[in-house]
Amino acid sequence: MDISPLDFILINFVSYIFGLGTGLIICCKNKDKLLVKSRSLENISQQQREHQLPYTSPVLASAPPPDKTPVKIILE
């Protein structure tokens, strides 16, 4: 049996759409039974406040600034 490129593309497209539809149907049917339930915004902001690190001063550079004189390289 000879399969043309168009047949191959059509089979791949149909199987992709079928898989996408199946995944959407499964998600819609089980969205209330998910293992991870979303938390309200109040709980999330409260957890962020609990885990927030104390303020520390910013890190400042202690090295002197670089020289402004250009470097000349002479090749012979």
What pLDDT is stored for residue 42 in this prediction? 65
What pLDDT is stored for residue 53 in this prediction? 61
Report the chain's mean pLDDT, rounded to a whole number. 80
CA distances from 8 to 21, 42, 69 (A): 20, 52, 66
Q: What is the pTM of this model?
A: 0.42
For the cut 60, the answer to whether the pLDDT of residue 47 exceeds it is yes
Residue of 56 and 63 predicted with greater confidence: 63
